[in-house]
Amino acid sequence: MSSRNKTIITTLIETFQRTLEPAKMYSCLQKVNADLDEVWSQVNEGPLPTNNGKNLDLSEVPEDNLPDTVAFTDKANVFVENQTIDEGKALHLLAATPNLTGNIKPLTDGSSLIVGIGFDHDGVTYSGTGSGIIFESGGITTLARIIGGTLQKLIRATASGIISIGTLVTETGAAINDLVMKNGKVIRGTNFGGTTNLAMINIDANDLIILGGDAVSSGAGHVHIPHVASANVPTAGATKNGIILIDKDNNWLVYYSNGNRYKIVGTSF
pTM of this prediction exceeds 0.85: no
In terms of domains, do 160 and 142 share one?
yes
pLDDT in tens, 100-158: 466 777 777 778 888 888 888 877 888 888 899 999 888 999 999 999 888 899 999 99
pLDDT-wise least confident of 4-8, 12-16, 95-99, 186-190:
95-99
Q: In the prediction, which pLDDT does 249 show?
A: 97
Residue 213 falls within a domain, yes or no? yes
Cβ pair 164, 173 in contact under 8 A: no
Residue 1 falls within a domain, yes or no? no
Half-sphere exposure of 134 (CA within 13 A, CB side): 25
pLDDT in tens, 109-120: 778 888 888 888
Confidence of residue 174 (pLDDT cuts 50, 70, 90): very high
Instruction: Return the H-helix or E-strand segment holding 123.
Output: none
What is the rounded CA–CA span in Å between residue 18 and residue 176? 99
Residue 118 falls within a domain, yes or no? yes
pLDDT in tens, 17-69: 565 566 666 677 777 778 877 876 776 666 655 555 555 566 777 878 887 77
Residue 217 falls within a domain, yes or no? yes
Range of the domain at 211: 183-223
The arithmetic mean of pLDDT across residues 252-262, rounded, is 98
Please tell me the total count of domains within the chain.
Answer: 4
In terms of domains, do 150 and 101 share one?
yes
In terms of domains, do 168 and 108 share one?
yes
Residue 80 falls within a domain, yes or no? no
In terms of domains, do 111 and 168 share one?
yes
In terms of domains, do 255 and 231 share one?
yes
In terms of domains, do 96 and 170 share one?
yes
Cβ pair 245, 228 in contact under 8 A: yes
Residue 124 falls within a domain, yes or no? yes
Query: Which residues, including other chains, have CB under 8 Å from residue 104's CB and lie 6 or more apart?
Result: 90, 91, 93, 113, 114, 115
The arithmetic mean of pLDDT across residues 221-243, rounded, is 96
